[in-house]
Structure 1
């Protein structure tokens, strides 16, 4: 390797390490402090309620966690992981603890937290899972137990990306995991009864959504962040299309389709299959928000809640936490305003 090139790589690595450590210190310093909703910065949030406390989990070092008793004022909690899981750093050498796209569910008598570790822009990725008996840090039983890797994707071997996992139970309470980002689109796999591993061969995963309309379509497959939510007789598949993470230039949008079976096909309002390029736009950017996306959904306090992030034009494109109630019109969710 050329010495100058090697030196450049070392400098870049050092700068990234300094930046990461600065961010870790920043979040540690904020632990225990409370902020209003409109000031909370977030990426890829999910929400759940235990007892009288709401919890949001989001992308961040060790997985970011905030809590609230009113969904208006939020307290910064300690991250899920104090250190990057050893198995994850071994599986993904580029991973340094910045953990993506958590998904939280109550299942099998405990809380399941699926999370993603990846090399940005590659499908060198894994989805892991940790469990806890409670989400309350003050509870003596509070302890995150990491169970390691659920699935892994490999460049040149798998035409899907093992990130953005979301747990959903079918009509028999069997666990399924939707996941995916770009590559061959969004996938669905049935899990073992304990939710810790696939119950089927990785070559039999089903594609449930894609921006490509056929096998010959070679357009960039800018779709990710699947989230399946059951309401009445339907399973609703939410997904995010176009591009996140570009601040003021972000073009993120949330699309949706539905199916009476968990395996699909998922159809949009016009009857177009989501695995063939379909998807009705639920939310997109406006004068205030450059782009919105990567949502979670939950039934809380008798309401259907959508949580997602948006890039705030009034704050130089900063990614902010947004929480809205979903209303239903003719069997489809509606958000009154961003």
Structure 2
């Protein structure tokens, strides 16, 4: 159904608001059986080790704070937060917001925010997030800032961008990237796919009169592409997206795709040169054994961890635990042609 997911609450529900988690390390994604792959291997002091503790999340976004603490923010409950000192053991740490901004009610009857994007720039932490309701593109992306990035310290700055039922896009799932002295925000779910607008570098809000660029879509209804996340590496911008069906437990068919471009506004193409506006997208990660429907991804650029790795952060549905959505952190490696793959 176009518009986005709704996750019933409950600690062990298949679509729980925030989900259990485990860290996956292994070779590039294939359909091979789980017992053919090496299992998780803890690595002390690095986020690419097996995770433990209170690790139920959905639509995760992770950051390493200046004091070395790792934080994962996720969908629901005022943007849920979990922290870790080593990237291995996680504990629940409240929510980003201490109270609900009044404007949330205009877009969500439950005042329930989704799909955060957390980043650090200019000495300030920035948190973008979506407020909407299932199946609707009457949606908005909000912004909050914090001096520390810790839960409970965020000050809401209001609506950054919104969409209405007359628009052919959906203003949810923000993903922000900086490059060439400019700041850009991707967004979108179903409808006509992934879009982008330019942000003001000083305020983090949309530039007045900024055009809406088109980055990716699928050729057939319901145009199931969402959750854009952008990374600049070398000469390229990389667009990570989730294809197909989210939020259906073990019936989920989510998979993660990627394309790249030399400009933040595209055109993004896969390895074969197929434009992502025509359904292209290099497969990065699909269901593997118990790990069903990976998606809702972001990329942690962990420059403080061992060797300064890039880490793919996403959720999946655990087929051996009733379809509970769980967190995964996978090291990203880059091949000689500059394409990402998951593994060590």
Same topology, TM > 0.5: yes
Contact persistence 1:84–1:96 (CA under 8 A): no
Contact persistence 1:88–1:148 (CA under 8 A): no
State the distance in 1 between where 2:53 and 2:226 align.
25
2:319 to 290, 313, 320: 313
Residue 80 of structure 1 pairs with residue 114 of structure 2: no
Which residue number corresponds to residue 6 of structure 1? none
Residue 333 of structure 1 pairs with residue 333 of structure 2: no
Residue 101 of structure 1 pairs with residue 110 of structure 2: no
For the residue of structure 2 that corresponds to 1:207, the secondary structure is strand
Contact persistence 2:71–2:150 (CA under 8 A): no
Which residue number corresponds to residue 290 of structure 1? 292
State the distance in 2 between where 1:200 and 1:276 align.
29
TM-score (normalizing by structure 2)? 0.81
Deviation at 1:63, TM superposition (A): 0.3
Deviation at 1:200, TM superposition (A): 4.5
State the distance in 2 between where 1:287 and 1:206 align.
37
Which residue number corresponds to residue 193 of structure 1? 201
For the residue of structure 2 that corresponds to 1:78, the secondary structure is strand
Residue 168 of structure 1 pairs with residue 177 of structure 2: yes
Residue 158 of structure 1 pairs with residue 167 of structure 2: yes
1:62 to 61, 65, 78: 78
- 1:275-314 superposed Cα distances (whole Å, 9 cap, x missing partner): 1111011001022122100111022121011100000001
Q: Kindly tell me: are residues 177 and 119 of structure 1, through their superposed partners in 2, closer, same or farther at Cα, counting changes over 3 Å? A: same
Unaligned 5+ segments in structure 2 are 1-5, 18-49
Please give the residue correspondences for 1:134-145 in structure 2 after superposition, counting only pairs within 5 Å: 134-136=148-150, 143-145=153-155
Contact persistence 2:259–2:282 (CA under 8 A): yes
Deviation at 1:199, TM superposition (A): 1.2
State the distance in 2 between where 1:274 and 1:22 align.
37
Which residue number corresponds to residue 31 of structure 1? none
Deviation at 1:22, TM superposition (A): 9.5
Asked which structure has the greater RCO (Cα within 8 Å, sep 6+), the reply is 2
Which residue number corresponds to residue 123 of structure 1? 137
Contact persistence 1:38–1:321 (CA under 8 A): no
State the distance in 2 between where 1:111 and 1:334 align.
28
Q: Kindly tell me: are residues 21 and 39 of structure 1, through their superposed partners in 2, closer, same or farther at Cα, counting changes over 3 Å? A: closer
- 1:14-39 superposed Cα distances (whole Å, 9 cap, x missing partner): xx9xx86999xx99xxxxxxx95386
Which residue number corresponds to residue 71 of structure 1? 87
For the residue of structure 1 that corresponds to 2:170, the secondary structure is coil
Which residue number corresponds to residue 41 of structure 1? 56
Q: Kindly tell me: are residues 295 and 265 of structure 1, through their superposed partners in 2, closer, same or farther at Cα, counting changes over 3 Å? A: same
For the residue of structure 2 that corresponds to 1:87, the secondary structure is helix
TM-score (normalizing by structure 1)? 0.83
Q: Number of matched residues?
A: 297
Contact persistence 2:261–2:267 (CA under 8 A): yes
For the residue of structure 2 that corresponds to 1:315, the secondary structure is coil
Which residue number corresponds to residue 215 of structure 1? none
Which residue number corresponds to residue 180 of structure 1? 188
State the distance in 1 between where 2:188 and 2:224 align.
11
Which residue number corresponds to residue 245 of structure 2? 243
